[in-house]
Structure 1
Amino acid sequence: MIKTIFTVLGTLLLPMAPPATALSWQDCGDGLRCGRITVPADWAAPEGAQITLGLAKLPARDPATRKGTLVLNLGGPAQQISVLRVAKQAFAELTRWFDVVVFDPRGFEASTGVRCPGRAPWAANAEWVFPDRAAYARYTEQNRRFGLGCAQAAGPLAGHVDSGQGARDLEAVRVALGERKLTYYGNSYGTVLGVAYAAAFPSRVGRMYLDSPIDHTTPSWTAWLLAKAKVKEDNLRRFAAWCATDPSCALHGRDVLKVWDEVMARAAKRPIPAPGAGAGATAGATLIASRATVTFDATWPELATSLAEAHAGDATRFARPSAGVADPDFSRIANCADFPYPAAYRQVKALEERLRRDAPRIGWTVAWPMANLCAGLPHAMAFPPRPVRPRGLPPILVASGLYDDAAPPASARRITAQLDGARHLAAKGGHALYLAGDPCVREHVHRYLTAGQLPPTGTTCGPA
């Protein structure tokens, strides 16, 4: 089973050691240069088994204007180098001033990887809001077997793939790069790594930008989920407001929230026929809740049509198989090491019921995604959420989208308050603001990373 080798206190006080191998760069295609360093599999036992970390660099365009190295983590937890290859244009402006460096986290791709036997069960393309205890029990058993197989395949990495270990890896990367201070940009889950680093090595932070932060500082699952649920509920209301003003909406001129309530009530009582999804196909309330995407404006026209047809008695659009893309299999092991979610059916249902008080239409569904990842996995309390209070930090820039129900602004403000001198930048947008190309956010980020200039307190960027 997945092992927990160190305690929370031990995590904070783990010894630091330089990488065992020097870093040299070689051309690896697509304008990137790649290298490798060696680090301990367990930073609590630095003389024990060793692993390698694979790095890639997008070099600065002009040595005359180069200001240093920016280490980037795009989120996940997942591989980084292959993602940078396809997304490098989004960071082209940053290469005016920086070498942009990424590294694959331990367990992924170019770093010492873990090949889990078989595939992880994926409920995301069906009902990730489970309809009953029996369906969830079957899924939990599948995920348990997958987790045990991963633990056996992980070898010396078993129990050591959390962001506490990752923060030490990040420090080893800084040392190998020869940078006196770390300049860091963490996107989405990459912010968990950034905050962990800031807590462990506050004196070694130069500048740090955290975009759409995932909150790893809140031990209360109810508080953590409520922030997400309220934004998701607001997004449903935003969808309804759009429909009221846009004649192209299939529900234009109707009370959208009333239609939603009626469809969900009917589907909960008796699944709605979905003839276009196959013989005998139907869509119950949990399937509709799983498939209704309210977060992104681009999905609203399809959602409106799906609701209109379901209200008329045909839920085919909700019942058709989804073409969603699954995260890397090993991602859930790393995710649940950082967020050991209470995934017993009764616990998830209790969280759902609590969320329904404040977010009764759709926000309550946020109780389920982490349960999908963590149900049945060997329970590893490697690096659980907890408040941070690092001292001696430089000013840090934290940005979040007002409509982001994965990384809600309330969570971003909570993180900002714990990082002395940090500044929160709000934007009328969703997730991954810089990567999405928000020009206002990008301007503030460039000004901060190159000159240390934070936006004025209370700044909000308008719609991109």
Structure 2
Amino acid sequence: MNASIKRVVVATAAAGLLAGGAGAAGAGEVLAWRDCYDGLSCTEIRVPADWGRPDGTTLAVPLLKIPARDRKLGTLLVNPGGPARSIPNFAVPGFREQFADLAARFDVVVFDPRGLDVTCPSPAPEPLPVPLTETAHAAYAAANEKFAADCAAAMGAVRGHLGAGQVAHDMDAIRSRLGEPRLNYFGSSYGTVYGQAYAALFGSRVGRMYLDSALDHTRPDAVAWARAGAVTAERDLFRMARWCAADAGCALHGRDVITVWDRLLTTPEAALVTRWAAARIGDDRGWPALATGLARADAGDTSAMVPRPGPPDTRLARTAFCADFPAPDGFPGLKRVEDELRAAAPRLGWAVQPWRVSGHCSGLPRIGLNPPSALPPMPRVLVANGDDDPLTPAEHGRRVAAQLHGTYLAAAGNHALYLRGNACVRDHVHRWLWAGELPAPGTRCGTPG
């Protein structure tokens, strides 16, 4: 995937066409597909803003369809992650190619989760710096509280109804409107949270499910949830050091990367370097640039690490995340999380996780929460996580697969294995979705490619 497409894939954009009035459209009504994105089809369905009050205000869930090319098996519902909009990304050349093989046998229907195209009138605050301080946390929480209050009118009926449980009901409404007796589902990254919610609520209606880079929604303890990712990122730092020792193209080749890193942690720029590196350590393909940046920082030049102004974040991705993963309340609890992660991954890994554990959520109203909980057995699922992915660590995938009594496929690599083209993973996914053939227990995909 080239850099421009990758930026679109990981960008946090937003969702839901809000309106009031009539109830959700029924299963018997024919969907009105329209042409979009050069040969694809788009539509939307209306669903209750609150599935606990199905006769209340409704909102629209956007859909995009890539038609099956041959011997159609049915429909495969897809969410590529985020939480974010993905349908607009199909305007980018090459983006749809990631899904082309899936469309060999299925109508691939991509949905954008509710509420994520709401544009708030003021931007969300910048992420908290690391390490966490009480003063910075208090200021951030106040700014986040104001962000949520300012956006309440724009959110309308979706306010308090962004969690994966509500989205799972939307998914079942999509299944019904498409005329499918069972849901075949492909979820990547945050899309796996929606898959877990669907399995918990509608497991008997699942046909075949694939969860790629599963984010564990079964463990409520923030430290236990985040520790695996922190440890993985710490291990990635040492893997990078070994790569650099073996590759003459590395900017730090011939030097001990860990020694350089430890020296940088003693400088006044330690927090800046840590935050910059924490955002890059989890993707092997970015290591050459990471090594170059560290070499320059060791020579006294950290200018490339200073955050550049970007577009304001006026979307609700953080709010949706916090509905599903509410953080501990108050600075002492958050500091305990950071301290325990530092004990487990003291050089770098600890800094990859605290923003996800605490900074998203401080100050947001704690309404409509869908906190992590245990999953019931639902064995019609294949789960695969990359061994070296700190964002959705392998331990998360193994735990989700075990709770569902599904099949876990171990794989070398980082995040979003299928969409990033891991040939071995893709082969097993196709066998499962097309023919119902699961990998044998203990199967492992080795070097990505």
Q: TM-score, normalised by structure 1?
A: 0.86
Distance in 2, matches of 1:21 and 1:346, equals 53
Residue 68 of structure 2 is matched in structure 1 by: 60
CA contact (8 A) 1:206 1:394 kept: no
| Cα deviation, residue 341, structure 1 | 1.2
Matched, 1:409 2:394: yes
Matches within 5 A, 1:232-243: 232-243=233-244
| Cα deviation, residue 429, structure 1 | 0.5
Matches within 5 A, 1:257-268: 257-264=258-265, 266-267=266-267
**Residue from 115, 123, 126 that aligns with 1:122:** 126
Distance in 2, matches of 1:177 and 1:240, equals 50
Residue 7 of structure 1 is matched in structure 2 by: none
**Equivalent residue letter for 1:408:** P
Matched, 1:418 2:403: yes
Please list every run of 5 or more consecutive structure 1 residues that lacks an aligned counterpart in the other structure. Answer: 1-15, 272-283
| Cα deviation, residue 153, structure 1 | 2.2
**C-alpha distance 168-59 of structure 1, shift in aligned 2 (>3 A):** same
CA contact (8 A) 1:20 1:38 kept: no
**Equivalent residue letter for 1:361:** R
| Cα deviation, residue 100, structure 1 | 0.4
**Equivalent residue letter for 2:242:** A
Moved more, 303-312 or 404-413: 303-312
Matched, 1:305 2:292: yes
Secondary structure of the residue aligned to 1:433 is: coil
**C-alpha distance 152-191 of structure 1, shift in aligned 2 (>3 A):** same
**C-alpha distance 363-376 of structure 1, shift in aligned 2 (>3 A):** same
Residue 441 of structure 2 is matched in structure 1 by: 457
CA contact (8 A) 2:27 2:179 kept: no
Residue 365 of structure 2 is matched in structure 1 by: 378
Distance in 1, matches of 2:307 and 2:369, equals 36
Matched, 1:41 2:41: no
CA contact (8 A) 2:119 2:314 kept: no
| Cα deviation, residue 394, structure 1 | 4.3
Matches within 5 A, 1:161-310: 161-264=162-265, 266-267=266-267, 271=268, 284-292=269-277, 293-310=280-297
**Equivalent residue letter for 2:126:** W
CA contact (8 A) 2:121 2:314 kept: no
CA contact (8 A) 1:399 1:424 kept: yes
**C-alpha distance 17-413 of structure 1, shift in aligned 2 (>3 A):** farther
**Equivalent residue letter for 1:82:** P
Secondary structure of the residue aligned to 1:201 is: helix
| Cα deviation, residue 44, structure 1 | 0.5
Secondary structure of the residue aligned to 1:329 is: coil
**C-alpha distance 134-190 of structure 1, shift in aligned 2 (>3 A):** same
Matches within 5 A, 1:306-345: 306-318=293-305, 320-322=306-308, 329-342=315-328, 344-345=330-331
Distance in 2, matches of 1:130 and 1:139, equals 14
Q: Percent same amino acid at aligned positions?
A: 49
**Equivalent residue letter for 1:55:** L
| Cα deviation, residue 379, structure 1 | 1.8
Residue 333 of structure 2 is matched in structure 1 by: 347
CA contact (8 A) 2:282 2:391 kept: no
| Cα deviation, residue 343, structure 1 | 5.7
The structure number with the bigger radius of gyration is: 1
**C-alpha distance 69-18 of structure 1, shift in aligned 2 (>3 A):** same
**Equivalent residue letter for 1:401:** G
Distance in 2, matches of 1:29 and 1:317, equals 36
Distance in 2, matches of 1:296 and 1:326, equals 25
Residue 413 of structure 2 is matched in structure 1 by: 429
**Equivalent residue letter for 2:441:** T
Q: C-alpha deviations, 1:229-268, integer Å up to 9, x for none?
A: 110000001011111111222222222112211210x22x
**C-alpha distance 304-29 of structure 1, shift in aligned 2 (>3 A):** closer
Distance in 2, matches of 1:407 and 1:289, equals 20
**Equivalent residue letter for 1:414:** R
Distance in 2, matches of 1:351 and 1:445, equals 36
Distance in 2, matches of 1:163 and 1:396, equals 18
**Equivalent residue letter for 1:136:** H
Matched, 1:399 2:384: yes
**Equivalent residue letter for 2:120:** C
